[in-house]
Amino acid sequence: MKDLGYYNGNFDDLDKLTVPFNDRVHFFGDGVYEATLARNYIIYALDEHIDRLYRSAAMVDINIRETKEEMKNILNSLVKKLDDGDQLVYWQVSRGTQSRNHTYPEDMVGNLWVVLKPAKIKNIYEPVSAITAPDTRFLHCNIKTLNLLPAVLYAQEAQRKEVYETILYRDGGRVTECSHSNVHIITSEGVFKTAPTDNLILPGIARAHLIRACADLGIPVDESPFTLDEMMNADEVLISSSTAPIRVCNYIDGKTVGSKKIKIVEALQKYVMDEYLSATDVK
Amino acid sequence: MKDLGYYNGNFDDLDKLTVPFNDRVHFFGDGVYEATLARNYIIYALDEHIDRLYRSAAMVDINIRETKEEMKNILNSLVKKLDDGDQLVYWQVSRGTQSRNHTYPEDMVGNLWVVLKPAKIKNIYEPVSAITAPDTRFLHCNIKTLNLLPAVLYAQEAQRKEVYETILYRDGGRVTECSHSNVHIITSEGVFKTAPTDNLILPGIARAHLIRACADLGIPVDESPFTLDEMMNADEVLISSSTAPIRVCNYIDGKTVGSKKIKIVEALQKYVMDEYLSATDVK
């Protein structure tokens, strides 16, 4: 198969599959999700993504039918159905199926959806540009939910401006994250500074890997908020997500930024890529 | 038919209809919606709801395929297919159909969904109870989008506490609205006070009708924010939505509130019900 959509045990080409009209996701964006890459049919960091999905589900009271082990087995068997072993692996659990109503039965059981399509890790060595915008999202950004309409509009605005991402900031100037990435800086003292994992940012798995990389490489980490001003004057600005685990951002709102700690960046790039490639190498 | 689901020209029983897996609503809650009542197969306040839907769509850059007139014709013809002329009329437009991706083609055209099921106006003469909670939603509450997961959780919490609604407040104590209703107070001076239609509340159509009723009945209206404290000490607390256009709330967080301006309430109830019944009477 070229691509694949899966819904509660049924699967088909993405543009052929249909799903029940009464899935609650249709009316409330009522679900949680995950996305990662597969390479050589090996799903990268699967355990970490599965763990986060169950945490997200618990935070919004969604009951997942499958055990973690069952979900892993489903995903690992589905990726094998594609012609190409390098894929975007996306999956979500919606709250359940019910005629449209805000409230739901306490024993409702979730529906599992999977999207697979060919994809490769992005070129992490190519620097990117960004714009900034006020962060008007809800106060549950730590939960990976399907209430993503603001993220859609931020991403679309970035595309219109021909930049890679929209970097968001709250009142007072605190930088939070991007439309679908985390953002970090390297200070003039060589400290990797990244917003704390409170309710204003998603605890990114690529972010966690970068923090582990810093620990191994002896780069100090400071998980505390930074402002727009700090970012614009930082020695490096880095953007991370599961499909592009580290990217240098060297141009924000039309101004040149960063690119002053190239050695640290190169060390992080090497660490992150080595980890990704070795985890997804065919043994 | 007992109930009906409609999607871009196809319709069936709600639990039989299926929709394409690739509708963007599945991945982003990427759509806007409306809901009102029909009585005697006559859809109440249809023009106002249609107008608001197009305003919501424009604010999130969704292109609606149908003209307003076409959409009215579709809805008016669908309601006739049900056995019962008293219905909940719910409809939404999702951004379009596309393999999962944050960004979308600029010329993408929306998908129209309709839900019809038997329903009657709620008993507006029965007072209700409520709880309060911090308002953690996004800053686009003026747009009637399908990003409703917080509303789902607030409504579920109200159901667990066996109350009618959750009344929300922002930092600083400003009361905004409820999980799926607006909230208003009547002050000791007999003023109908209701939050302004900024980005923190939905401009409710029942709310607009109440303001018109006040004008006709000589009740002063003050569209300015009020606090939790003002609400708890108000002479009346009123909750409004399209399925229950005015309800007295006499119990909040376990405390008795309001019920001191019964004459004003009775005048508003009579006005609102007269308007509803005469607009949906078979001529």
**pLDDT surpasses 90 at B283:** no
**% residues pLDDT > 90 (chain B):** 99
What pLDDT shows up at residue A216?
A: 98
If we measure between CA atoms, which residue out of A176, A230, A179, A161 comes closest to residue B28?
A179
Residue B274, judged by CB atoms within 10 A of its CB (0-12, 13-18, 19+), counts as: exposed
> What does the mean pLDDT of chain B come to?
98
For B21-47, how does the pLDDT look when each residue is reduced to its tens digit (9 = 90+)?
999 999 999 999 999 999 999 999 999
Tokens coding B204: 């409710």
**pLDDT surpasses 80 at B78:** yes
Characterize the bridge pairing of strands B221-222 and B192-194.
parallel
Chain A contact present for B10, CB below 8 A:
no
**pLDDT surpasses 80 at B184:** yes
What pLDDT shows up at residue B90?
A: 98
What pLDDT shows up at residue A57?
A: 98
pTM, two decimals, is 0.97
B156 contacts in chain A (CB < 8 Å):
61, 102-104
Q: What is the mean pLDDT of residues B104-128?
A: 98
If we measure between CA atoms, which residue out of A10, A2, A91, A75 comes closest to residue A43?
A75
ipTM of the assembly?
0.97
Sites in chain A below the pLDDT cut of 50: none
A28 contacts in chain B (CB < 8 Å):
29, 146, 148-149, 151-152
Helix (H) or strand (E) holding B266: helix B262-279
Distances (CA, A) of A266 to A187, A250, A270, B146: 16, 15, 6, 42
**% residues pLDDT > 70 (chain A):** 100
Alpha helices in chain A (DSSP H): 25-28, 46-59, 68-79, 149-160, 205-217, 228-232, 262-279
For A248-281, how does the pLDDT look when each residue is reduced to its tens digit (9 = 90+)?
999 999 999 999 999 999 999 999 999 999 999 9
CA distance A180 to B226: 36
What pLDDT shows up at residue A283?
A: 77
Phi/psi-derived region of residue B101, left when phi > 0, alpha when psi is between -120 and 50, beta in every other case: beta
Q: What is the mean pLDDT of residues B89-94?
A: 98
DSSP A196-215: -SSTTS---HHHHHHHHHHH
User: Under DSSP, is residue A75 helix (H, G, I), strand (E, B) or coil?
Assistant: helix
Residues 18-77 of A with CB under 8 A from B: 18-23, 25-30, 33, 60-61
Residue among B12, B27, B103 minimizing CB distance to A146: B27
**pLDDT surpasses 80 at B264:** yes
Q: What is the mean pLDDT of residues B105-129?
A: 98
Cβ partners under 8 Å of residue B274, min gap 6: none
For B247-258, how does the pLDDT look when each residue is reduced to its tens digit (9 = 90+)?
999 999 999 999
Cβ partners under 8 Å of residue A22, min gap 6: A97, A98, A99, A100, B5, B14, B15
Determine the residue among A23, A36, A102, A176 to mutate to test chain B binding: the one whose Cβ has the most chain B Cβ atoms within 10 Å.
A102
Q: For residues B127 and B246, is the Cβ–Cβ distance under 8 A?
A: no
Convert B244-257 into a string of H (helix), E (strand) and C (coil).
Answer: EEEEEEEEECCEEC
CA distance B161 to B253: 10
Angle at the Cα of B96 from the Cα atoms of B90 and B100, rounded to 5 degrees: 120
